[in-house]
Amino acid sequence: MYEIRFQDGSSRPVGTIFCIARNYVAHIEELNNSKPDMPVIFCKPITALNTAADIRLPAYSQDVHYETELVLQIGKGGRDIAEAEALSHIGGIAVGLDLTARDVQGKLQAKSWPWELAKGFEHAACVSEFVSADTIADWSYVNFSLHINDELRQEGDSRLMIFSIAEQIAFISRHFSLREGDLLFTGTPAGVGALTSGDHLHGELEGGLISMDWRVL
């Protein structure tokens, strides 16, 4: 069983890992992508989940990129969830990394093939410990950042999202049944880049409310 940990010492099983792509304008521009008119959804297999400090890169890629994101744990499932009720379905929040084999993704996109080989490898969904959703006072402004080798590489907040957290949950639930334990990676801001062996990463949410240190093997 794959589980996530909460800061209170409890653990929860994980279901589907949903991810949102192209949800920050500056990130779209840095990759020369087009702005979507609805949330772009993809999923990662449960075996991609990594709750540990070590990150192992896939041997078949020479260009794995970090993408720092707010990660939500669904605490109450549902289908066709109203946007006004969506935030009440969040059980917890963490800071995470959506790792992408960018060279592999480029080849797949050129053929109009799915992204799983580029997005679903083991350790491709890294998460910190979670805190209860009740800890967040204002979901319209949740900030996060990533330092690599003590250099700030990414920072963002939920105000910069094209599709808000509530919109994402409502949209996904119109197409899939959300279940308790599902995770949602909510998109990354600008500043993505390649990882190399020996890199030390430090992710923070809400000024240190949650923090996580990773090491690339």
Q: How far is Cα 5 from Cα 144, in angstroms, rounded to an integer? A: 19
What is the average pLDDT value for the chain, to the nearest integer?
A: 95
Quick one: pLDDT at residue 172?
A: 98
Query: Per-residue confidence at 191, pLDDT binned at 50, 70, 90?
Result: very high
Q: What is the pTM of this model?
A: 0.96
Q: Which residue, 72, 81, 86, is CA-closest to 166?
A: 86
pLDDT at 29 over 80: no
Structure-model confidence comparison of residues 13 and 35, the more confident one: 13
Q: How far is Cα 96 from Cα 67, in angstroms, rounded to an integer? A: 8
Q: Which residue, 183, 78, 77, 87, is CA-closest to 133?
A: 87
Structure-model confidence comparison of residues 35 and 50, the more confident one: 50
How far, in Å, are 90, 144, 174 from residue 154 at the CA level? 24, 8, 31
pLDDT digits (tens, 9 = 90+) for 118-132: 999 999 999 999 999
- CATH class as words, domain 3-216: alpha beta
Tokens of residue 79, six digits: 């289908």
CA-based diameter of the chain, in Å?
Answer: 46
Q: Which residue, 164, 12, 141, 160, is CA-closest to 74?
A: 12
pLDDT digits (tens, 9 = 90+) for 124-165: 999 999 999 999 999 999 999 999 999 999 999 999 999 999
- The residue ranges of every structural domain in the chain are 3-216
DSSP, res 3? E
**Dihedral sign, Cα of residue 176, residue 78, residue 204, residue 212:** negative
